[in-house]
Chain A
Amino acid sequence: MSAAPAAGGIFPYTTHTFTLGNGLKVIMIPMSSGGLMSYYSIVRTGSRDEFEAGKTGFAHFVEHMMFRGTKNFPAKIYDRMVTEMGADANAYTTDDYTAYHLTFAAEDLETVIKLESDRFQFLDYEEEAFQTEAGAVYGEYRKNRSNPWEVLFESLQQTAFTTHTYGHTTMGYEADIKAMPTLFEYSKEFFSRYYRPENVVLLLTGDFDVDDARELIERYYGSWEKGYVAPQIPSEPRQQQEKRVNVVYDGETLPLLVVGYKGAAFKPKDRRTVAGYLLEDLLFGETSALYKDLVLKRQLVQYISAGFDRNRDPGLWNVYAMVKKQGDVPLVLREIDKTVEHWQKTLVGKDELAKLKKRLRYQFLMNLDTPDKVAGRLARYVALTGGITAIDALYATIDAITPEDVRDAAQYWLVKNQRTVATLKGRK
């Protein structure tokens, strides 16, 4: 087991890492937390891995089925045991990974390991339960559809990607969700393909004994069979020209605008990629000239911000705006373009860059105060890279970014022929 003390890097806690013979990696981060601990099982599979036609949404659906029990612990018994622990237990699915998380009193660690290792190896459900859960998934889809942003993202992704699986949302296409009840056998295949030790990382944080935890994990997960084969996700061909999509929302909303630039795959040591992440705040954050102009001075938009996500493959780096009047949408787009052009020509001041770096550092540090927050904050990095060393690497790269790097990133990433402009307007 390797122990990396907190020294030099940004991450303030000592971490202990080991890998079982079957490839299951375990990261343990002890911290003082009043007897609570968090246990994350991170499956490095998300909707990105749904490459077969007609089978979108299965990463998310299988996440639901993981609560339907095994022969050893049928759903009712599993529920009862989790209930007795008073655990805060849930799961979520994203484009790149699926996370199962429990926060509970550390005295219940063995029970949690027993339950989690069992369902990850021996998930077993009947067709009836499967079909019932398909109804709940469709209910979740319907619930989301009343949110115009969800409607817009569905079209944006479908337009932006012609080949890569980022073309569908994590929920999946509606037709595929409707057809889910007929794909019982496929769901089992999906589970068997991806729920393998080499594709899962356990992340433990909080008040627990590292040696005891290791012994338990070895005992309960040691016999989990290998067998993960990485899916062949088709690469997205380089986009040649700007794309546009205009959506009409079946309801009333302020007009929405998203400008989605093709971004980078997560490479924490790559200066051009990391400088790209800095553009998010610098160009579109609350202290940007654009925000001050559009939100505070002219008050043309209710809201503008950007999300340049960390993704396994090159995803979308989105700029979002909720515009107050339909007629102002083209103007807001022009202002976004003007900002981008400005930063493609101009070097950011050294003071301004230093403030941004300080902000990113404190943003990270201020959100590490509970076991669940630490694990939740690390989960995406673990999923993308298989470990947490990427975090120190990322912040070290941030420290090294120069004004020239920032200008280069604006020139390289924020280009029109690499973007999709999506708008949404209400029916009225």
Chain B
Amino acid sequence: MRSLTISVLSMTTAVMLALAGCATPESERVVLYPVKDDPTISFRFWFKVGSQCDPSGKEGLAVLTAALLTDGATTNRSYEEILDALYPMAASYTANVDKEMTVISGRVHADNLDEYYPLFIDAILHPAFNEDDFRRIRTDMINAIEKSLRYANDEELGKAMLYDFVFEETPYGHLDIGTVTSLKAITLDDVRHFYKTWYTNDNVVIGLGGSYPAELLPRIEEDLSKLPVGAPKQPGIPAPKEIDGIELMIVEKDCDATAISFGYPISVLRGQEDFWPLLLFNSWLGEHRNSSSRLYQVIREARGMNYGDYSYIEHFADGGSRQMPAPNQARRQQIFEVWLRPVQHEHRHFALRAALREIQQVVDSGLTEEQFSLTKRFLSKYVLHYATTTSERLGYAIDSRFYGIKGDYLEVLRRRIDDLDLDDVNAAIRRHIQTRNLKIAVVTRDAEAFADSLVANAPSPMLYATPKPPEVLDEDKLIESYPLAIKREKIRIVPVGELFR
């Protein structure tokens, strides 16, 4: 029955696409982004499985399984043979696992498609799951937690902690790569079982972009039909516990600077009515890596306290290295998040106060007409940078399928931004933004002293090494005593070595 339904849909879409000049049909399980003059072909195969599907005690299984597909042997080729074959094409494929999505993606020059595609599909259809690859990848993942995340990148550590903290006791509430203990508990049989359950022909959406030939899609569909049938049952939408007041998790670490992230769950998803006004508000408050936003202006530009300060209404992966949001991080539950890049320890209390005060001020007063119209003009053009390559646009098209958005996302986004008015934005701010109930993750030294200072609402005067204009100093007086209602029992202090154990 199912295949009949698909073929009917495909035929209908095929007619429409043929009229639009496209070469191949799109269907429920296919997302196409043809670009005739792009000399490359992009693949993104979306399997509806993510780290939320990790069995309890085996966290990290989704990532490990996907990594074994793309970074390990198949039953037809050793991993060395695969690397050798990909090498002259300067091509590769990779797996990205988020909470709800696993996307196996690759890109190749059209000249090399005939050599590349058999490798790509073989990785998905015939993983060998051999012991050597398993040991290597699992060790890398454990080292990534024990060494890199805990010790080599405090700001990513702070952000990872915040997600665990906000979503604790839900399927979102663990690192995608799991914990040291859970990784050690995973066996190859677990991997095989996970693969068999989730990597089915009914659980995959084919994404294809660039200058692919017409005959490629039917070939892919035929190849994927060799996967088992059946659509596994998806977990429910995560329901994080309601946050009561301001809760802190402070990680004690002998570090040079303090990393701070805070946030709370929001129910607004891409495509919903309140998403567009909140997106504009967020861009004004803290567009990622953009110096015109408010938090950046207050904390970095006027005071030189750190390298940058940003906010988010959708998960933003790899914020330390990426300038624009990565596609294929779609989720059914998001958080409003603020990321303050490391500040000197003696400025930590002030920085937190400054950020929360800014947010409360905009909740109380709303954006002004000028702020609104400037941000609107900015965002309407800036969103074009979100996806500039065929592969990224294909990724966004897949995300639109996830969220049920019709049409090219960036075009929809620009249209919706153009339609906004100030009242929409301020109403959305009042509905969704607040500073009373939230969770804060901090990586710092002398955690107890910081906790005491927070609970006591102790003044946190800013001392600058260099002169500052009077308006900054006047505002500092207000910030340094800005009250935060934090109770001692809401603060947890954790030594860094105990994180993600």
CA distance A43 to B466 in the complex (A): 29
Kindly report which residue of chain A lies nearest to residue B85, judged by CB atoms: A287
Whether B377 sits at the interface, judged by CB under 8 Å, is: yes
Contact of B90 among A251, A296, A302, A363 (CB under 8 A): A363
Q: Are B109 and A250 in contact (CB under 8 A)?
A: no
Whether A210 sits at the interface, judged by CB under 8 Å, is: no
- B409 → A minimal CB distance (Å): 14
Contact of B381 among A67, A86, A134 (CB under 8 A): A86
CA distance A127 to B90 in the complex (A): 49
- B367 → A minimal CB distance (Å): 14
Contact of B303 among A104, A132, A254, A362 (CB under 8 A): A132
Q: Are A133 and B256 in contact (CB under 8 A)?
A: no
Whether B469 sits at the interface, judged by CB under 8 Å, is: yes
Whether B91 sits at the interface, judged by CB under 8 Å, is: yes
Q: Which residues of A371-395 have CB atoms within 8 Å of chain B's CB atoms?
A: 372-373
Contact of B466 among A131, A253, A356 (CB under 8 A): A131
Q: Are A83 and B378 in contact (CB under 8 A)?
A: yes
A262-302 toward B: CB 8 Å interface, digit per residue (1/0)? 00000000000000000000000111000010011101001
Q: Are A292 and B257 in contact (CB under 8 A)?
A: no
Q: Provide the residues of chain A in CB contact with B468, threshold 8 Å.
A: 128, 132
**Assuming the A-B contacts A36-B384, A86-B384, are A299 and B469 also in contact, with contact meaning beta carbons closer than 8 angstroms in the complex?**
no
- B43 → A minimal CB distance (Å): 14
Q: Are B292 and A83 in contact (CB under 8 A)?
A: yes
Q: Are A32 and B257 in contact (CB under 8 A)?
A: no
CA distance A40 to B151 in the complex (A): 36
**Assuming the A-B contacts A135-B304, A142-B257, are A365 and B109 also in contact, with contact meaning beta carbons closer than 8 angstroms in the complex?**
yes
Q: Are B304 and A133 in contact (CB under 8 A)?
A: yes
Q: Provide the residues of chain B in CB contact with A296, threshold 8 Å.
A: 79-80, 132, 136
B383-420 toward A: CB 8 Å interface, digit per residue (1/0)? 11100111000000000000000000000000000000
A141-173 toward B: CB 8 Å interface, digit per residue (1/0)? 011011110000000000000000000000000
Q: Are A131 and B467 in contact (CB under 8 A)?
A: yes
Whether B83 sits at the interface, judged by CB under 8 Å, is: yes
CA distance A296 to B72 in the complex (A): 10
Q: Which residues of B280-308 have CB atoms within 8 Å of chain A's CB atoms?
A: 289, 291-292, 300-307
Q: Provide the residues of chain B in CB contact with A131, threshold 8 Å.
A: 304, 465-467
A57-85 toward B: CB 8 Å interface, digit per residue (1/0)? 00000000001000000000001101111
Q: Are A90 and B289 in contact (CB under 8 A)?
A: yes
Q: Are B151 and A426 in contact (CB under 8 A)?
A: yes
Binds A, one of B32-40, B46-54, B59-67, B186-194: B32-40
- B391 → A minimal CB distance (Å): 9
CA distance A379 to B467 in the complex (A): 37
Q: Provide the residues of chain B in CB contact with A253, threshold 8 Å.
A: 147-148, 151-152
- A102 → B minimal CB distance (Å): 11
Whether A105 sits at the interface, judged by CB under 8 Å, is: yes
Kindly report which residue of chain A lies nearest to residue B392, judged by CB atoms: A370
- B170 → A minimal CB distance (Å): 29
Whether B478 sits at the interface, judged by CB under 8 Å, is: no
Q: Provide the residues of chain A in CB contact with B44, threshold 8 Å.
A: none
B468-495 toward A: CB 8 Å interface, digit per residue (1/0)? 1100000000000000000000000000
Contact of A140 among B112, B254, B307, B323 (CB under 8 A): B307
Q: Are B291 and A84 in contact (CB under 8 A)?
A: no
Q: Are A143 and B257 in contact (CB under 8 A)?
A: yes
Whether A404 sits at the interface, judged by CB under 8 Å, is: no
Q: Which residues of A81-97 have CB atoms within 8 Å of chain B's CB atoms?
A: 82-88, 90
Whether A423 sits at the interface, judged by CB under 8 Å, is: no
Q: Are A83 and B374 in contact (CB under 8 A)?
A: yes
- B369 → A minimal CB distance (Å): 15
Q: Are A67 and B291 in contact (CB under 8 A)?
A: yes
Whether A181 sits at the interface, judged by CB under 8 Å, is: yes
Q: Provide the residues of chain A in CB contact with B256, threshold 8 Å.
A: 142, 145-146
Q: Are A32 and B382 in contact (CB under 8 A)?
A: no
CA distance A143 to B156 in the complex (A): 11
CA distance A254 to B468 in the complex (A): 42
Contact of A147 among B88, B89, B152, B254 (CB under 8 A): B152
Q: Are A88 and B109 in contact (CB under 8 A)?
A: no
**Assuming the A-B contacts A135-B303, A139-B307, are A362 and B467 also in contact, with contact meaning beta carbons closer than 8 angstroms in the complex?**
no
Whether A193 sits at the interface, judged by CB under 8 Å, is: no
CA distance A345 to B136 in the complex (A): 32
Q: Provide the residues of chain B in CB contact with A251, threshold 8 Å.
A: 151-152, 254-255
Q: Provide the residues of chain A in CB contact with B301, threshold 8 Å.
A: 132
A186-207 toward B: CB 8 Å interface, digit per residue (1/0)? 0000000000000000000000
Q: Are B89 and A84 in contact (CB under 8 A)?
A: no
**Assuming the A-B contacts A181-B466, A286-B87, A370-B389, are A82 and B292 also in contact, with contact meaning beta carbons closer than 8 angstroms in the complex?**
yes
CA distance A311 to B135 in the complex (A): 39
CA distance A220 to B344 in the complex (A): 42
**Assuming the A-B contacts A86-B379, A145-B256, are A358 and B384 also in contact, with contact meaning beta carbons closer than 8 angstroms in the complex?**
no
- Give the 7 A-B residue pairs with the shortest CB-CB distance, closest first: A86-B381, A135-B304, A131-B466, A86-B382, A362-B90, A132-B304, A363-B90
List 30 A-B pairs, Cβ < 8 Å.
A36-B384, A36-B388, A67-B291, A83-B378, A90-B289, A104-B381, A127-B467, A128-B466, A128-B467, A135-B465, A136-B306, A143-B155, A146-B154, A146-B256, A148-B151, A252-B146, A252-B150, A253-B147, A297-B132, A299-B132, A302-B143, A359-B88, A361-B90, A362-B88, A362-B90, A362-B112, A365-B109, A366-B107, A369-B39, A369-B40
A105-B384, A369-B38 given; 12 more Cβ-contact pairs under 8 Å: A83-B375, A83-B377, A128-B469, A135-B305, A139-B304, A146-B256, A146-B257, A287-B84, A299-B135, A299-B139, A324-B143, A361-B90
